[in-house]
């Protein structure tokens, strides 16, 4: 484990119920990252999606992948810029080629694996995949940018 949820909250501005990553387990600065979320029946989203057939929403999976990508982008900043990390935020620019391959349900460990396609200054393009039991459940190409708050 590289970062637990408390350490992730020092990097990302997200908080419950919208912090969608529990741990970061691998990180290669500027190249790749892996993290996960344990999906629990106690998630507020399951009150409405769907009460008798709980399915974790695809949009939440995409957001979870984006949050892990945000950790990668922030942790890949030069050290002198990391001192002001609380003054920066990552904004989505685009989501392309999104595909949902299998439903995610309570009890699943949702593993996010992202690889950098391209990084130019504050802009990051990422190949993102989400897995349950080593099976791809969702994937997308994400583009984001680090900006000042």
Is 37 exposed, middle or buried, given 0-12, 13-18 or 19+ CB atoms closer than 10 A? buried
Q: How far apart are CA 140 and CA 100, in angstroms?
A: 9
Q: Would you say residue 84 has pLDDT above 90?
A: no
Domain enclosing residue 101, as ranges: 5-148
Q: Would you say residue 45 has pLDDT above 90?
A: yes
Residue with tokens 């130019």: 120
Q: Would you say residue 1 has pLDDT above 90?
A: no
> What is the pLDDT confidence band of residue 83, given thresholds at 50, 70 and 90?
confident
Return the exposure string of 88-122: e unless at least 16 CB atoms fall within 10 Å of the residue's CB, then b: bbbeeeebeebebeeebeeebebbbbbebeeeeeb
Active site residues: 49
Q: How far apart are CA 74 and CA 69, in angstroms?
A: 9
Look at the chain and report how many structural domains it folds into: 1
> What is the pLDDT confidence band of residue 146, given thresholds at 50, 70 and 90?
very high
Q: Would you say residue 36 has pLDDT above 90?
A: yes
CATH number of the domain enclosing 96: 3.10.129.10
Average pLDDT over residues 117-134: 97
């Amino acid at each position: 484990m590289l970062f637990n949820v408390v350490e992730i909250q020092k990097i990302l501005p997200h908080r419950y119920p919208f912090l969608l990553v529990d741990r970061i387990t691998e990180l290669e600065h500027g190249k790749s990252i892996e993290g996960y979320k344990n999906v629990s029946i106690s998630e507020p989203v399951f009150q409405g999606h769907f009460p008798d057939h709980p399915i974790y929403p695809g949009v939440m999976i995409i957001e979870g992948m984006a949050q892990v990508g945000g950790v990668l982008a922030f942790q890949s900043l030069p050290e002198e810029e990391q001192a002001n990390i609380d003054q920066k935020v990552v904004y989505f620019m685009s989501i392309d080629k999104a595909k949902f391959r299998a439903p995610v349900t309570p009890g699943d460990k949702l593993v996010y694996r992202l690889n950098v396609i391209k990084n130019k200054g504050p802009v990051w393009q990422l190949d993102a995949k989400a897995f349950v039991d080593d099976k791809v459940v969702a994937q997308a190409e994400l583009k984001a940018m680090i900006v000042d708050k």
